[in-house]
């Protein structure tokens, strides 16, 4: 998924918005008599709209069928080329629902006023975290040992490949600094980082000693062949965050929000819905176990740390 200009948008959005419990109550505080809607519209951001529409349309149809009593007749899918477009669609009500990982989802929450409602178990994973790793012959044992060294992250818009590891290092009092290339100099009071563009590339760069360490999500680390992983050392791990968030447009009728929630949280129990869930690589949807306010405040704290570092 491509999220253009994400870092710039965070810089603009974070200083002026505070996320709190009011995120949920924003939905119920909307106009008690919203304009009638006859479609439920799912959104996504991608450069291959045909593929995304094919994947999401069955889910849109399933939701529409369950929302007939609220006047919903059809389900639709709209694919935006970039985050700026999607934020506009959420603000104007052209898109009702969006699924995304925490980092880009929170930016869209901040920018559009949208509301996080559910957690999506993507590929069977409810939550995930980042693993910092190096080869065992690197001489590294802890994250503090990375000072003066170069680490590989994935891309600037990644939750597990940028936001989580950057925030974690900053919380430890360390100083991650973006570098242009792997050969750029790194001061002794810095941890240099470069972007590899792909999780697999990060792993390969560590194995080939192009960088001394890498940061990838725990699922990707677990997929490294055992014969290779046994020669690696874990330097540290971040906290867990939801794998994906479901957010809804800011002016959605509370009754519609409640109905969508009720449909999705039991969808995995419907045998007829299994193929639909499989088409969107989803195991189930559920409420945030810790409560939405706790999760969102924690994510906001991480975003603020990353924003301050840039």
Query: How do residues 253-270 score in pLDDT, each as one tens digit?
Result: 999 999 999 999 999 999
161-210 pLDDT per residue, tens: 999 999 999 999 999 999 999 999 999 999 999 999 999 999 999 999 99
Confidence of residue 2 (pLDDT cuts 50, 70, 90): very low
pLDDT at residue 307, rounded to an integer: 79
H/E segment holding residue 292: helix 292-309
**How high is the mean pLDDT of the chain?**
90
**Lowest mean pLDDT segment, chosen from 216-225, 226-235, 294-303:** 294-303
Closest CA to 102 of 219, 284, 242: 242
Beta partners for 119?
A: 245, 286
Residue 10 reports pLDDT greater than 80: no
- Indicate whether 71 pLDDT > 90: yes
Does 228 have pLDDT greater than 80? yes
6-125+241-309: CATH topology: D-Maltodextrin-Binding Protein; domain 2 (3.40.190)
- What pLDDT is recorded for position 11? 44
The CATH architecture annotation of domain 130-237 reads: 3-Layer(aba) Sandwich (3.40)
Q: What is the mean pLDDT of residues 68-82?
A: 96
Burial of 263 (0-12, 13-18, 19+ CB in 10 A): middle
**Residue 3: pLDDT above 70?**
no
User: CB-based contacts of 107: which residues, under 8 Å, 6+ apart?
Assistant: 6, 9, 10, 13, 83, 303
Neighbours of 205 (CB within 10 A): 20
Contact between 153 and 139 under an 8 Å Cβ cutoff? The reply is no
- Lowest-pLDDT choice from 12-16, 229-233, 240-244: 12-16
Decide: helix, strand or coil at residue 188. Answer: coil
Residue 262 is predicted with a pLDDT of: 98
> Do the domains at 6-125+241-309 and 130-237 have one common CATH topology?
yes
Q: List, for residues 292-307, the tens digit of each pLDDT value.
A: 888 888 998 998 888 7
The total number of residues shown for the chain amounts to 310
> What is the rounded average pLDDT of the residues 109-125?
94
pLDDT of residue 6: 55
Tokens at 97, concatenated: 């629902």
More confident residue, 294 or 142: 142
| pLDDT-above-90 percentage for the chain | 81
| Domain regions of the chain by residue span | 6-125+241-309, 130-237
Distance between alpha carbon 52 and the CA centroid of its chain, in Å? 17
């Amino acid at each position: 998924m491509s999220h253009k200009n994400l870092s710039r948008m965070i810089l603009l959005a974070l200083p002026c918005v505070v996320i709190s419990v009011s995120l949920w109550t924003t939905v119920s505080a909307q106009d008690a008599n919203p304009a009638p809607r006859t479609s439920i519209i799912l959104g996504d951001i991608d450069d291959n709209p045909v593929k995304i529409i094919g994947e999401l349309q069955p889910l849109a149809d399933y939701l529409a069928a369950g929302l007939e009593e609220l006047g919903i007749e059809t389900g639709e899918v709209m694919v935006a080329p970039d985050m700026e477009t999607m934020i506009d669609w959420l603000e104007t009500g052209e898109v009702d629902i969006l699924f995304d990982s925490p980092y880009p989802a929170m930016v869209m929450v901040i920018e559009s006023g949208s509301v996080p409602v559910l957690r999506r178990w993507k590929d069977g994973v409810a939550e995930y975290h980042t693993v910092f790793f190096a080869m065992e012959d690197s001489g590294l044992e802890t994250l503090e040992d990375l000072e003066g060294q170069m680490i590989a992250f994935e891309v600037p818009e990644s939750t597990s490949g940028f936001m989580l590891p950057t925030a974690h290092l900053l919380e430890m009092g360390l100083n991650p600094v973006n570098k242009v290339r792997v050969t750029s100099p790194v001061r002794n009071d810095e941890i240099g980082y470069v972007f590899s563009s792909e999780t697999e590339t990060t792993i390969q760069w560590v194995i080939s000693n192009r960088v001394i360490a890498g940061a990838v999500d725990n699922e990707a680390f677990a997929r490294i062949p055992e014969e290779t992983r046994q020669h690696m050392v874990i330097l540290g791990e971040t906290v867990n965050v939801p794998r994906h968030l479901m957010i809804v447009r800011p002016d959605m009728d509370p009754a519609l929000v409640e109905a969508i929630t009720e449909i999705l949280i039991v969808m995995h129990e419907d045998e007829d819905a299994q193929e639909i869930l499989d088409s969107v690589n989803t195991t189930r949807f559920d409420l945030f176990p810790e409560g939405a306010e706790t999760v969102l405040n924690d994510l906001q704290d991480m975003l603020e740390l990353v924003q301050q570092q840039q």
